[in-house]
Amino acid sequence: MGMGASYQLFPVSQKEIGQITERIKDFDIKGVNVTIPYKETILSQLDGISDEAKAIGAVNTIALKKDKLYGYNTDYFGFGKMLSAHHIEINNKTAVILGTGGSAKAVKAYLLDNQIKKIYLITRNKNQKIASHPAVSLINYEDLKEITGDLLINTTPIGMYPHIRSTPVGVNIVSNYTTLVDLIYNPKETEFLKLGRSQGKVTLDGLYMLVAQAVKSQEIWQDREIPDFMIDKIYKNLN
């Protein structure tokens, strides 16, 4: 984009996280991305939180504006861009989300904001507390055998490098859906997606979402709109 800028890694220890926002201000860092395990911890240190980040309960992007720090969740936007780029309809559909972590929360928030009919959140612990919503049900993997739907979305790390032979569910579950989405991008095609492809399903890997959420972060930091063709260009370069 012809900008003179740098993007660097700043490792932060657990004992330092309480001072990190003051350091961002002291060094006048325009923006930062936040990764695990600090996406929820950082919330209480911010001056403002966007609507989508409030709904999700996690922040992955922070912008410094007039000596105040504002938190956003660009995973939310990245997921939406991935669906729209691949022409995946979600209006009045049924989605199953494997996992209940931070990524699952972003996916759930986006689907609820875009007229999904029903969401099943799959967990190994049905006693887990989640924010109540009439369209959302919490079930376990045993219950999943009785469910059919439109989208099956993996937000767990199962199948991620180096454990590339693993899959969160088998072909008997995969066959009950028309579209499979995996937020994992390494490997690009997980065993989960291979099962879907073997069944003739539409399959989406997580690389497009990764690029789209990164571009959204830049839009926030640079206060400028970046056209979608830039997402496509970066995505194709990475393929």
User: If you write DSSP's letter for every residue of 147-203 in order, what string do you get?
Assistant: ---SEEEE-SSTT-TT-TT--SS-HHHHTT-SEEEE---SSSS-HHHHHHHHTT-EE
Q: What is the pLDDT of residues 146-170, one digit of tens each?
A: 999 999 999 999 999 999 999 999 9
Distance CA(167)–CA(174), nearest Å, equals 11
Nearest to 31 by CA among 54, 58, 60, 2: 60
Chain region(s) in the chain for CATH 3.40.50.720: 76-207
Give the amino acid at 129: K
pLDDT digits (tens, 9 = 90+) for 178-228: 999 999 999 999 999 999 999 999 999 999 999 999 999 999 999 999 999
82: amino acid identity, one letter: M
Selected catalytic residue, list 30, 39, 54, 129: 39
- Threshold 0.85, pTM exceeds: yes
Contact 208, 231 (CB under 8 A): yes
| Cα distance between residue 116 and residue 141, in whole Å | 21
Q: Which helix (H) or strand (E) holds 18?
A: none
The hierarchical CATH code for the domain 76-207 is: 3.40.50.720
Is residue 54 annotated as part of the catalytic site, yes or no?
no
| 3-state DSSP assignment of residue 129 | coil
Give the confidence band of 129 by pLDDT, cuts at 50, 70, 90: confident
Residues of the chain with CATH 3.40.50.10860: 1-72
Q: At what angle do helices 74-85 and 207-222 cross, to 10 degrees?
A: 130
Helix/strand number for the chain, H first, E second: 8, 10
CATH assignment, 1-72: 3.40.50.10860
